[in-house]
Amino acid sequence: MSDAPLVLTPRQAAERLGVGLATLRKHAATWEALTGEPLPRGEHLERLWPETVVGLLSEALAAVHRQEAVSVEGALRALHPPEAPLLVPLLDTPESLRLLIREEVRAVVREELRAALASMPPALAPSIETDAVRLAVRDELESLRVRLHAGPFTSAPRRGLLGRLWAAWRGPG
């Protein structure tokens, strides 16, 4: 038996919760905004619903129906405080993309750290403890990783006539 958490398709999650697919998508946006992490995606880019998330969402919906909470978001905040560990498994991304993101984040943090140290008076710079700097860099890397992970999906630029037509139709960005 596998230790991997059970993941439901959107249709299965909607049936289990007794809501429609459109309502489930709204709840997905609420969950992702609350946790700062996107739900995992399937091979067709549909959201996959871990059983733990569906259970929490079911409890939140029940709390709203019992009028113990004003909104699903409020009930989810009560059931899943932000300091609690995330219950959503990390997405499997290609190793090259993961390394590219890691290097980009490190480069941004290095530049910000250099700018912060350059703006400090020279008398204060030696008094900085390396552990404090290391912790600050680690926190910044983690927040950037979360923001990059939650950002919109962008694919590599397409080449050829079809790629140029696609880029012209979509516009910049």
Residue boundaries of the structural domains of the chain: 7-79, 95-170
- pLDDT tens profile 82-129: 654 444 445 555 666 666 677 777 778 778 777 777 777 666 655 555
Please give the CATH number for the structural domain made up of 7-79.
1.10.1660.10
- Between vectors from CA 53 to CA 64 and to CA 34, what angle results, nearest 5°? 70
pLDDT band at residue 70, thresholds of 50, 70 and 90?
confident
In sequence order, the 6+-apart residues with CB closer than 8 A to the CB of 36 are 146, 150
Q: Where are the alpha helices (DSSP H) in 18-120?
A: 21-35, 51-65, 72-79, 95-119
- pLDDT tens profile 121-132: 666 655 555 666
- pLDDT tens profile 141-157: 777 777 666 655 555 55
Amino acid code (one letter) for 12: Q
